[in-house]
A = this chain, B = another copy of it.
Amino acid sequence: MTDFSEAEFYQRTEKTQKLMYERGLDAILLCTEAEVRYYTGFRSLFWQSPTRPWFVIIPQSGKPIAIIPEIGRDLMERTWVDEIITWPSPRREDDGVSLLVKVLKGSNNIGLLMGEEASLRMPLNDFETLNSKINGSFIDCSDLVKEVRLVKSELEINVIKQICSIASCAFDRAPQLFHPDQPLNQAFRDFKIALLEAGAEEVPYLVGGAGQDGYSDVISPPSSQPLKTGDILMLDTGSSLKGYFCDFDRNWAIGKASNLAKTAYSKLYNATEVALKKIRPGMTCAQVFSLINSSLGEGDSDIGRMGHGLGIQLTEYPSLMLNDKTVLRENMVITIEPSLSYGDGLMMVHEENICIRDGEPELLTKRAAEELPVLD
């Protein structure tokens, strides 16, 4: 009834419990969308409402325990989880806290995601109440959960491959979709529609930019500025299927391409090509960063990271950065995302998604064109 069979969730939980045992954790408390989904298969857009908290506890052995708003019971019953405790949320005076206290009462060392990339998706007041009412104490287990999530199963890789393929099909339609005089926000809208038509379930993330010979801004919402001949258009999408993301971009020249833009494109293409050939299990993220950065030659990166993990979140650890010493292992899925600054405040970004394999990585995206494509 969920996106994967019970065996998948069993493996994730078992791997986690093995590490919990090694580290002396009696339980792990989860309250964030990605982790609750990862361990239970519970996938719902209801997380977008901040009103209700949702909790899952991973015990030392056995299945995860769900402590969730009553409104989620039916959907949780269709997952592999057996023990589902609910309350009529929102209930201001006690939004699940007393239930958490009950379930956690025998636990001394309780894991909680407190480290990098973690959020506490419950009111801090409630967390402090909880903390004061339990006997045990909370211990950061970010590394433990990261360790489990880093390496993907073949089922996960397969879904990511599917959404990469869907987005690749949508990108292939660029010559029909984009044209001079088209407002940038219209290009964004048309591309979102193309992604949905190609089979994406959700398009939560579409960013990009456009400008003469390159762009300078890739995090703003699109303006209504029309595309002009000589513009470089870049679109970068995190679309999803069964809750798994692709995250890659494509660049096009509108009408014609300057040598400046063509040169930047080639440098980025070649740096990506080097990464696609040379990345191997056993390399650290820092080494991959250096590999890409040195392929870019004189190019300079503003972003400081050249890629990141990918899976049930648009970006996951690790980061391809100089200070990330995470060792790449088989079946990790990452993005390769070199960027280049050039000209007068311009930038260009390329991105592909790969799976680390024994030998050369497996390319999950359809490779970008070798030369900057010109849309007439």
Given A112-B124, A219-B72, A303-B71, is A90 in contact with B319 using a C-beta cutoff of 8 Å? Answer: yes
CB distance from A238 to the nearest CB of B (A): 7
Q: Are A90 and B50 in contact (CB under 8 A)?
A: no
Answer whether residue A95 sits at the interface, using C-beta atoms and an 8 A cutoff. Answer: yes
Answer whether residue A321 sits at the interface, using C-beta atoms and an 8 A cutoff. Answer: yes
Q: Are A46 and B116 in contact (CB under 8 A)?
A: no
Chain B residue numbers with a CB within 8 Å of A216 are 74
Given A125-B140, A193-B196, A304-B88, is A117 in contact with B50 using a C-beta cutoff of 8 Å? Answer: yes
Q: Are A305 and B90 in contact (CB under 8 A)?
A: yes
Q: Are B120 and A124 in contact (CB under 8 A)?
A: yes
Answer whether residue A314 sits at the interface, using C-beta atoms and an 8 A cutoff. Answer: yes
Q: Are A75 and B220 in contact (CB under 8 A)?
A: yes
In angstroms, Cα B148 to Cα A363, docked, is 50
- Copies of this chain, complex-wide, total 2
Given A118-B123, A121-B119, A124-B120, is A92 in contact with B323 using a C-beta cutoff of 8 Å? Answer: yes
Answer whether residue A221 sits at the interface, using C-beta atoms and an 8 A cutoff. Answer: yes
Chain B residue numbers with a CB within 8 Å of A196 are 189, 192-193, 196
Chain B residue numbers with a CB within 8 Å of A205 are 45, 48
Answer whether residue A165 sits at the interface, using C-beta atoms and an 8 A cutoff. Answer: no
In angstroms, Cα B112 to Cα A201, docked, is 36
Answer whether residue A115 sits at the interface, using C-beta atoms and an 8 A cutoff. Answer: yes
Chain B residue numbers with a CB within 8 Å of A49 are 313-315
Answer whether residue A5 sits at the interface, using C-beta atoms and an 8 A cutoff. Answer: no
Q: Are A308 and B189 in contact (CB under 8 A)?
A: no
Chain B residue numbers with a CB within 8 Å of A319 are 51, 90
In angstroms, Cα B119 to Cα A121, docked, is 5
Answer whether residue A360 sits at the interface, using C-beta atoms and an 8 A cutoff. Answer: no
In angstroms, Cα B89 to Cα A360, docked, is 30
Q: Contact partner of A114 among B75, B123, B197, B305, CB < 8 A?
A: B123
In angstroms, Cα B91 to Cα A18, docked, is 30
Answer whether residue A63 sits at the interface, using C-beta atoms and an 8 A cutoff. Answer: no
CB distance from A40 to the nearest CB of B (A): 13
A 109-140 binary contact with B (CB < 8 Å = 1; else 0): 00011111111111111001000000000001
Answer whether residue A44 sits at the interface, using C-beta atoms and an 8 A cutoff. Answer: yes
Given A51-B308, A90-B321, is A114 in contact with B119 using a C-beta cutoff of 8 Å? Answer: no
A 34-54 binary contact with B (CB < 8 Å = 1; else 0): 100000000111101111000
Q: Are A323 and B91 in contact (CB under 8 A)?
A: yes
In angstroms, Cα B90 to Cα A316, docked, is 12
Answer whether residue A330 sits at the interface, using C-beta atoms and an 8 A cutoff. Answer: no
A 218-234 binary contact with B (CB < 8 Å = 1; else 0): 01110000000000000
Q: Are A48 and B238 in contact (CB under 8 A)?
A: yes
Residue of B nearest to A245 (CB): B48
Residue of B nearest to A217 (CB): B74
Answer whether residue A348 sits at the interface, using C-beta atoms and an 8 A cutoff. Answer: no
Given A90-B321, A119-B119, is A314 in contact with B221 using a C-beta cutoff of 8 Å? Answer: no
Q: Contact partner of A75 among B93, B125, B219, CB < 8 A?
A: B219
Could you pull out 12 A-B pairs where Cβ atoms are within 8 angstroms? A48-B205, A51-B308, A51-B319, A71-B303, A74-B217, A90-B116, A92-B323, A114-B125, A118-B123, A119-B122, A189-B196, A189-B197
A residues near B, CB below 8 A? 34, 43-46, 48-51, 70-72, 74-75, 78, 88, 90-93, 95, 112-125, 128, 140, 142, 185, 189, 192-193, 196-197, 201, 204-207, 216-217, 219-221, 238, 302-305, 308, 313-317, 319, 321, 323-324
List the 5 closest pairs (A to B, CB-CB), nearest first.
A114-B124, A49-B315, A120-B120, A50-B117, A114-B125
